[in-house]
Amino acid sequence: MHPFTRPASIALTFGLPALLASGISLGQQPGAPQPYPQTQAYQQPAAPSPYPVTGQTSQPPSTDPASPANAVQPAGDQPANAPAQAPAAPQPPAGFALNPLEQTQLDAVLTAWQAGSSQINTFKCSFERWEYVMAFGPVINGQAAPLNKDKGELTYSKPDKGSFQITEISTYKQVPPPTNQPNAAAQGSWVVQTDAIGEHWVCDGKSVYEYRNDQKQVIERPIPPELQGQAIVDGPLPFLFGADANKLKQRYWMKVDNGNKDTSKIFLTALPKFQAQAANFSQVDLILDRQLNLPQAMRVTMPNQDRHVYMFDLSTAKTNAVFDRLQQALFQKPSIPIGYKHVLEQTPVAQNDQPAQQKPR
């Protein structure tokens, strides 16, 4: 059984980002790193991302006053002319205050990952994504099972071109027991939804295009000139394409998980430091193949505790292959399908990051 498909109580949490970034070197966590101090990372502004949130189910605004989005900072009594104060530095959550040995281990893993990722020019890989919906997903033999089993393909061309597409969606369908066996266990399987159209986004280096098939729209979000060539690291899977070590260290609490004794893999966990990332996911866990120095699997836990588990087919992945014309076309500005409307959306203005509130673990 794949570690990511086990119950949450025994499965490691795996980080979302960095599949492509980790091209050749191994054991890195969601970010490719150098030895980097974390000095005043909390004061840095959040770069707005033009990317859609991949696999995120739309949720209504939270009414919980304890949720990060509704947290209110006390104003305090300060003179009107008092200088603005920098926000308090976020404190590491339980289990992420690393001792010197743990920090050295993490830095070594991240340094190796960054070195390897710098050698990746092109990457193409098929993958599976299992979607666990905790509110109404199936339960098989007492354990949560995925509602959907998706197939997809991702492609990357250094430094700022990428494509992510879900090509097939299979949904769990339960079959009631035979009428003459009312007490028999219900049976079910995942059935391909021939009419379903999966998520699809393309980055051509200057804009990000998202297909909203339910609305028959192609959304274009221009990438600001100062972010072109680097904004792809802020894409739907933050650790997926060309992860930047310093940026990821600034944005995420990370650690190597030494609880698993499988020496052929490296296990990493990441939690968002800031609300901008915490609004999209609460935890990401990553398994790296120690020999190939590439991510094997990744689990993304959403704020509502739904989970997306990605499993990458490294046996057929192509690294630094020369793309033919058809493959290069994946990164070109897409034509608008008949019946669809082109919608131009501007990337929002950057705002200062606010620390994310970590729930007790």
Range of the domain at 278: 15-40+90-175+188-346
How confident is the model over 186-203, as a mean pLDDT?
A: 91
pLDDT at 49: 56
> How many CA atoms are closer than 13 Å to the CA of 155, on its beta-carbon side?
21
Maximum C-alpha span of the chain: 81
How far is it, in rounded angstroms, from Cα 171 to Cα 191? 5
Residue 192 in any domain: the answer is yes
How far is it, in rounded angstroms, from Cα 233 to Cα 21? 9
Tokens of 359: 């729930």
Q: For residues 120 and 343, which has the higher predicted lDDT (pLDDT)?
A: 343
Residue 360 in any domain: the answer is no
pLDDT at 324: 75
Show the CA angle centred on residue 277, arms to residues 273 and 278, nearest 5°.
75
Q: Please count the structural domains in the chain.
A: 1
Give CA separation, 145 vs 228, 242, 262, 281, 303, in Å.
40, 32, 24, 20, 19
pLDDT at 238: 57
Residue 251 in any domain: the answer is yes
Dihedral sign for Cα 118, 119, 123, 126, please: negative
How far is it, in rounded angstroms, from Cα 322 to Cα 97? 43
Residue 47 in any domain: the answer is no
- Residue of 281, 294, 295, 287 whose CA lies nearest to 256: 287
Give the range with max mean pLDDT: 43-47, 169-173, 236-240, 274-278.
169-173
How confident is the model over 111-137, as a mean pLDDT?
A: 88
Residue 81 in any domain: the answer is no
H or E element that contains 245: helix 245-251
Please say if the pLDDT value at position 88 is more than 70: no
Residue 289 in any domain: the answer is yes
Q: For residues 5 and 337, which has the higher predicted lDDT (pLDDT)?
A: 337
How far is it, in rounded angstroms, from Cα 52 to Cα 234? 10
Amino acid at 188: G
H or E element that contains 105: helix 100-117
Tokens of 137: 């997903």
Lowest mean pLDDT among 77-81, 275-279, 306-310, 335-339: 77-81
Q: For residue range 132-181, what is the model confidence (pLDDT) as tens digits?
A: 999 999 998 889 999 999 999 999 888 888 889 999 999 999 988 788 88
- Residue of 195, 194, 135, 128 whose CA lies nearest to 166: 128
Tokens of 171: 């949904």
pLDDT at 186: 73
Contact 165, 150 (CB under 8 A): no
Residue 112 in any domain: the answer is yes
Name the average pLDDT for the chain: 75
Please say if the pLDDT value at position 72 is more than 50: no
Q: What is the pTM of this model?
A: 0.74
Residue 297 in any domain: the answer is yes
CATH number at residue 33: 2.50.20.10
Q: For residues 276 and 321, which has the higher predicted lDDT (pLDDT)?
A: 321
Tokens of 25: 């070197």
Q: For residue range 28-39, what is the model confidence (pLDDT) as tens digits?
A: 333 332 222 222
Instruction: pLDDT band for 288, please (50, 70, 90 cuts).
Output: confident
Amino acid at 123: F
